[in-house]
């Protein structure tokens, strides 16, 4: 059962450490091992984790500590899951939807560029 995450935009490393149940140095180590994990940095250079980062950390902990995966195995498993999610999203939205959305974004950016020039 996953812990209930506070309704916040950002979490400091100490808060994340308590939520996930591992020491801050473990979180920093996992950042080096899992490319999907990229917390932002505040101007003070402190790590600022988003909710999705905390959820990913909880999944990493589950894979390593409960499922018994190695770091490499957990990394591969997470990549597989991400690939499956992208495939499902691709199936859910036809290519024309992506092209239309990208076309609109392009036009908006061109208009903005004109206004700024």
pLDDT band at 58 (very low <50, low <70, confident <90, very high): very high
pLDDT band at 94 (very low <50, low <70, confident <90, very high): low
- Average predicted confidence (pLDDT) for the chain: 87
pTM: 0.68
CATH topology of domain 10-84: Multidrug-efflux Transporter Regulator; Chain: A; Domain 2 (1.10.1660)
| pLDDT exceeds 60 at position 1 | no
Main-chain dihedrals φ then ψ at residue 38, nearest 5 degrees: -140, 80
Q: What is the pLDDT of residues 18-57, one digit of tens each?
A: 999 999 999 999 999 999 899 998 899 899 999 999 999 9
CA-based max dimension of the chain: 57
């Amino acid at each position: 059962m996953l812990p209930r995450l506070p309704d916040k935009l950002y979490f400091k490393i100490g808060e994340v450490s308590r939520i996930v149940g591992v020491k801050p140095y473990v979180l920093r180590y996992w950042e080096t091992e899992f490319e999907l994990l990229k917390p932002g940095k505040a101007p003070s250079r402190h790590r600022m984790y988003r909710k999705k980062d905390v959820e990913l950390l909880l999944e990493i902990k589950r894979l390593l500590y409960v499922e018994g995966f190695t770091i490499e195995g957990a990394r591969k498993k997470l990549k597989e899951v991400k690939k499956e999610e992208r495939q499902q999203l691709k199936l859910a939205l036809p290519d024309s939807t992506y092209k239309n959305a990208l076309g609109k974004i392009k036009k908006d950016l061109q208009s903005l560029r004109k206004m700024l020039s």
